[in-house]
Structure 1
Amino acid sequence: MKILVVDDHAVVREGVRRLLSAIPNAVVLEAATAHEALNLARKEAPDVLVLDINLEGASGLELLRRLRIESPNVRVLMFSMHAEPIYANRALKAGAYGYVCKSADASELTTGVLRVAEGERYLDSTIAGELVMSSVRAEDPLRKLTNREIEILRMLGEGKSLQGIADAIGIAYKTVANSCGRIKEKLDLPRTSDLIRFSIENRRN
C-alpha cells in the first residue's frame, strides 16, 4: 500500500511516516505543500493520502477539491488539529473518506488509513462524538461561512494580520478585508474587534 502524507510541519510528517511504516507492505511518501502533493499524487498514484487542513498557500480543503478532479482514485484521510464538527463536515462533503484529529490516539490514525484504503469511511472517536452532538445543538454560526471565510477566521484567531493572511493564502489584501466584512455581517458582529475576539474564542489548539 502506498501512502502520501501531506503536512507543512516536518516533525509531524516524520512522526506519521514512522507510525504508518509499521503497516505491512506500506510505502510512505511525504509532501510539505499542495504543489508537491499534486505532483506526487500524479506520479506515484498513492492508495491513501493523509492530509492536513492547515497548509501554507492553498488550504487542505482546496487541495482536496483539486485531488478529486486530478486524481479521483486517491482516497483522502484528513488529519487535523481541528476537532470542531464544521471542519469534518466540510472535509467529508468535499470528498474526504475520513477525518482523524491530531489529538487522537496513534492507533486511530493507523486504523483510519487501513479503513480508508479498503474504501470505508472513518471518523476517530472524538470527532464522531462531536458530530453527533452538533446534530442536536442549535445551528453552528460557522455553517454560514464559506471554506475560505473559515480559513480567514482561523488565521485571525492565530493572531495573523490581514496582510499576513493575504500572504499566507496567496490573495490580495483587499480580498481579505472584504471577506472580513462579509464574515462580520454573517456572524452579526458590528466591529472588527468583535470579529477578532470571536475568532480567538472559537479557536481550539
Structure 2
Amino acid sequence: MKSVLIVDDHPVIRAALKLVLEREGFKRIHEAASVGEALTILRQHPVDVLILDLVMPDGSGLDLLERIRSSAWKCVVLVFTSLDPLFFQERCMRGGALAYVSKTNSLDQLHKALHALMAGYTYFAQLVSSPMNPLQHSEKKMIDSLSNREMNILQHLARGLSNKAIAKAMNLSHKTVSTYKTRLIIKLGVVAAVHLRDFAIRNHLI
C-alpha cells in the first residue's frame, strides 16, 4: 500500500497527515479538499488507501463511501473525523470503511490504524457502553433510523444552511430538500425545523 488519497477540507490537517504518511513509507500522496476533487483523483489514479473526513463542503464522506463501495475502486478507507463514533462508526462500517479514528485522539491512533490496514486488519474504536437516560436512548434510536442522506441534510440544516444552499451542495432540488426537512421533523419528533439544530448539537452530530 504505497498510494494514498487524503480527503479533508482543512489544509493544516492534510499537511499533518502527509507527514505521518511519509514516515509510514507512502510514496504517492494525493490530496482533495472536497468530494468532487476526490472523485476526480480516484478516476485518474489508482489509490491503495483513502483517508476520509466525513464533513466536506460539497457533500458527505458517507456519500463518498457509498460511491466507492459501488465502484470498481479497490482502495481501503480509513475514516479520520471529529464526529462522534457512537453515531457514525457503525454507518462507516456498513459503508465499507475498514478503520475509524477520531481527530480528538493522538496521532498515535492513526499510526496504529494504518499499521492494522497494511497488515490486512480493521481498526475501530471500542465504544464504551455507558448508561443512557431514557431521552438519550430514545434519541439514539431515532438517529440510528436515519438514512445517510437524511443525516447529511440534518447536519447541513444544523449548521444553518438554507434549503437553497443545501440543494446546491448536494445537487438536489429545493423541493426534495424541503421534503427531507419535513421527514426529519417527523422522524426526530421535534416541533419545528428550528429545533433540529438543538437536536444535532445535543447529540454531537456536528
Cα distance between partner residues in 1 of 2:85 and 2:77: 19
Report the Cα distance in structure 2 between the residues aligned to 1:133 and 1:77, rounded to whole angstroms. Answer: 26
In structure 1, the residue corresponding to 2:172 is in which secondary structure?
Answer: coil
Instruction: Report how far residue 81 of structure 1 moved.
Output: 1.0
Q: Give, in whole Å, the separation in 1 of the partners of 2:72 and 2:159.
A: 32
Map of 1:9-24 to 2, 5 A cutoff?
A: 9-24=10-25
Residues in 1 aligned to 2:107 and 2:115: alpha-carbon distance in whole angstroms: 13
1:170: Cα distance to partner?
2.4
Structure 2 Cα separation of the partners of residues 25 and 84 of structure 1: 27
C-alpha spacing 1:34/1:204, structure 2 compared with 1 (3 Å): closer
Tell whether the 8 Å contact from 1:38 to 1:67 is kept in structure 2 after alignment.
Answer: no
For 1:188 and 1:86, locate their aligned partners in 2 and report how far apart those are by CA, in whole Å.
18
Q: Kindly indicate whether the alpha-carbon contact (under 8 Å) linking 1:41 and 1:71 is maintained by their aligned counterparts in 2.
A: no
Aligned to 1:158: 159
TM-score w.r.t. length of structure 1: 0.86
Alignment of 1:29-108 (within 5 A): 29-108=30-109
2:126 counterpart of 1:128: yes
Report the equivalent of 1:138.
137
Whether the 8 Å CA contact 1:156–1:200 is kept in 2: the answer is no
Which runs of no fewer than 5 residues in structure 1 stay unpaired?
none
Instruction: Give the aligned partner of residue 110 of structure 1.
Output: 111
Structure 1 SS opposite 2:62 = helix
For the structure 1 residues 71 and 77, does the alpha-carbon distance in structure 2 shift closer, same or farther, using more than 3 Å as the test?
Answer: farther
For the 8 Å contact 1:57–1:170, the answer to whether it is kept is no
Deviations 1:75-131 (A, max 9, x none): 0011111024221111100100011111111111122122123321102xxx4224x
Q: What amino acid maps onto 1:64 in structure 2?
A: L
Asked whether the equivalents of residues 6 and 52 of structure 1 are also in contact (C-alpha less than 8 Å), the reply is yes
Q: Distance in 1 between matches of 2:117 and 2:131?
A: 24
Query: Percent same amino acid among aligned pairs?
Result: 31
Q: Give deviations 1:110-160, integer Å, cap 9, x for gaps.
A: 22122123321102xxx4224x4599x836120111111111111222222
Query: Is contact 1:7-1:51 (8 Å) kept?
Result: yes
Aligned to 1:189: 190
Identify if the C-alpha distance between structure 1 residues 84 and 155 changes in structure 2 by more than 3 Å, giving closer, same or farther.
farther
SS in 2 for 1:8: coil
Count matched residues: 200
Structure 2: gaps (5+ residues): none
- Return the offset for 1:16: 1.0
Change in Cα spacing, 1:34 to 1:25, as seen in structure 2 (3 Å) is closer
- Per the normalisation by structure 2, the TM-score is 0.86
Return the letter of the residue paired with 1:200. Answer: I
Structure-1 separation of matches of 2:38 and 2:10: 14
Which whole-Å CA distance do the structure 2 matches of 1:28 and 1:110 have between them? 16
Question: How many angstroms apart in 2 are the aligned matches of 1:134 and 1:186?
Answer: 24
Taking a change above 3 Å as real, the CA distance of residues 62 and 204 of structure 1, as seen in their structure-2 partners, is closer
CA-atom RMSD in angstroms: 2.3
